[in-house]
Every structure is written in structure tokens, then in C-alpha cells.
Chain A
Amino acid sequence: MAISQTDTDTSNNSDGRSGAPGFILSRLEDWARESSLWPVTFGLACCAIEMMAMSASRFDVARFGSELFRASPRQADLMIVAGRVSQKMAPVLREVYDQMPEPKWVIAMGDCASCSGVFNNYALIQGVDKIVPVDVYVPGCPPTPDALLDSLIKLKEQVAANSSNRHGARTAAGVGIVHDGIARS
């Protein structure tokens, strides 16, 4: 079970294309983007193991188009933050996120990425949405691969609905992180 944050602004054809051909192109673009969301390898801790299990043959994320985990963030459009984010790792996470080209999405996998889970202490960032805008939160410690697949499907629905208008995702804590990277509360 995953909770998704949908965009408030869902205007179609906002990418400036006009008329029926423009509409078809937008739909094609959305379909292409949602069918091949390539995650960047960002497995941090225990959730990474379940993410690997998701990409193995039983749960098989390949049938959803996301089998190709790209090591380079330049080639990826999805970041699944799988695991707890420590103080030392937070700037690294932000840098990898910044290196990803637009449009990009973030799944906060697991309790630690969503809200630091069991570890409410000095060492962890209390929820990865404090530093990157999150589109889908997946509860669980760790979430089963089924749950992660469910979150991926929810994300695909979001992407298919409106992939070119990506900005302004609101976070669960109520902090709006604007696209230019400055967190404003």
C-alpha cells in the first residue's frame, strides 16, 4: 500500500503544444515515460535487499519497465530511496538527486525514508522529504516487494496522467520544496 502525492496543477498541453497532434504527442510522451521509469541504484540499507528482491524473478519489475537500474543518475529518471539516510549521506543524496535530469520522480521506500521509522534519533534525517521532494511514500519495514511494486504502479499512474508538468510536489510534512532546490517551510 502506498500513499501518493499528486500534482495540484494538472493542466494538459501545458508544454505548449497545440491542437490534436500536440495532444497525441503529449500522451505519447507520458506513456513512454511511465513505461520505462529507470531507477538509479540508491539502495542504502535493508530496504535495498527487498528492492533487489523486487528486481529478481519472483516479483520481476522488468515487466513494468524498470528492470534497468542505472548506476549513473544522469541516465535515470526515478530515485527509489531505499533505506535510512544518515547525516553523512544526506548531502550525497541531494547531489545525486540534483544530477538527475528532469523530469524525475522520487519514491521514499520504507519507514526510514518516509519518516526515519524506528530510528527517531540524532543520526538520521527524519524523513527524506526534508531534502528531496517525494512523490510516493511506501510504508513498511521493509516494505514487501509487492508493496514497492504497488507504489511503482501508483507512480506510473501519476506519470501517465501528467509527466511533463512535474513541479510543485508537496511533502507530507507540509514543507513545500520548490524545484529550484531551496526548501521553504
Chain B
Amino acid sequence: MAVDSLEGVFAPERITATADGIPTVGVPLAELLETIERVRGELGYSRFVDLTAVDRLRREERFELVYLFYSMTQKAWLRVKTATDGEAPSLTPSVAGANWYEREVFDLFGISFEGHPDLRRIMLPDAWQGHPLRRTEPLGSEPVDFTVTRRVYGND
């Protein structure tokens, strides 16, 4: 479905065009589940593809949640985006496939999904502190011992 044909369904200021041609709809957090239901039901993008988050480092509503859906009939993707500070409603009760995706976003970004049946860390050990994919957290690299840097790091 081309971007312009979404204009009848969503308010035009909510639709953005992206470089890959996938129509993208931005909605406030409160309307997220309702929008997804429409997208999956009425608009026919029933197959859940992906869920991830992007840390936009904004002062408010710092994280952007990006949902990707696919229509088996129109053979096209559609993206739904929302912004949150750290909480979101869970999609898992209606889409079983979103289970591990939400756990991953919780683990790596710290966004908790209300209504998720089993929200625990999935990638990192259970006792891990912090959410590494937040852009305020460091990469965690350690200095590598090369002879040219020995004087710098004081190993010499």
C-alpha cells in the first residue's frame, strides 16, 4: 500500500515516508494497541515481522518503538512507530510472536511492557545491571594491549 493511500485511514501528519518505501505511521503511546489492531485487521497487515526500539536521546519520550508488519495479500510492509519514556502496553496477548521481541527490548533498553506474561531478561544474565543498548551506556570495550599504547595506558 503506497504512502498516499494510507492518508484516508490515518491523519496525514502521522504518516512519514522512509527511504525504503515502507509506509510509516507514528501514533502516541495511548493509541498504540488500537492502531495495531486496525493495521492487522482492517488494513490486512496481519503478519507480525519485527519489534525494536531506537534510543533517540530526546529529553522527553526518549525511546522510539518500531513495529513492523507485513500484508500477505498486498505483499508489503507497514511500520508503526510510537514514542515512550520507558513503558508500553504489551502486544503479546494478541500476537504470540511478539513475546521474545518484547523481552529483548526490555532487556537491552529497559522498556517494560505492561501485560507481558513473562517479562524477564533474555539475552543478558538475570543479574545483569543496566540496559546496554541505551546510547547513554558505554560500549564496554577494554583497552587492548598493543606495544604502541603501552606508555599511554601505563603498562610499560
Give the interface of A toward B (CB within 8 A): 87-88, 115, 120-123, 126, 173
Contact = CB atoms under 8 A, between A and B. Distances in A.
Interface of B: 123-125, 128, 132, 138-142, 144-145
A87 B139 contact: no
A12 to B, nearest CB: 35
A121 B128 contact: no
Contacts of A120: 139, 141-142, 144
Contacts of B139: 120-122
Nearest to B145: A173
A126 B142 CA distance: 8
Contact of B140 (A88, A115, A122): A122
Contacts of A87: 124-125, 128
A88 B142 contact: no
- Tell me what chain B mostly uses at the interface: helix, strand, loop, or mixed: loop
A123 B125 contact: no
Contacts of B144: 115, 120
Nearest to A173: B145
A120 B138 CA distance: 12
Nearest to A122: B140
Given A88-B125, A121-B140, 15 more contacts: A87-B125, A87-B128, A88-B123, A88-B124, A115-B144, A120-B139, A120-B141, A120-B144, A121-B139, A121-B141, A122-B132, A122-B138, A122-B140, A123-B132, A173-B145
A122 B132 CA distance: 8
Contacts of B124: 87-88, 123
A120 to B, nearest CB: 4
A122 B141 CA distance: 6
Contacts of A126: 142
A129 B141 CA distance: 17
Which of A87, A115, A173 is most buried by chain B, counting CB atoms within 10 A of its CB? A87
A84 to B, nearest CB: 13
Nearest to B155: A174
Contacts of B128: 87
5 tightest CB-CB pairs across the interface, nearest first? A122-B140, A120-B141, A88-B125, A121-B139, A121-B140
A122 B144 CA distance: 14
A53 to B, nearest CB: 28
A115 B139 CA distance: 16
Contacts of B142: 120, 126
A121 B108 CA distance: 14
Contacts of B125: 87-88
A120 B144 CA distance: 9
A163 to B, nearest CB: 31
B136 to A, nearest CB: 13
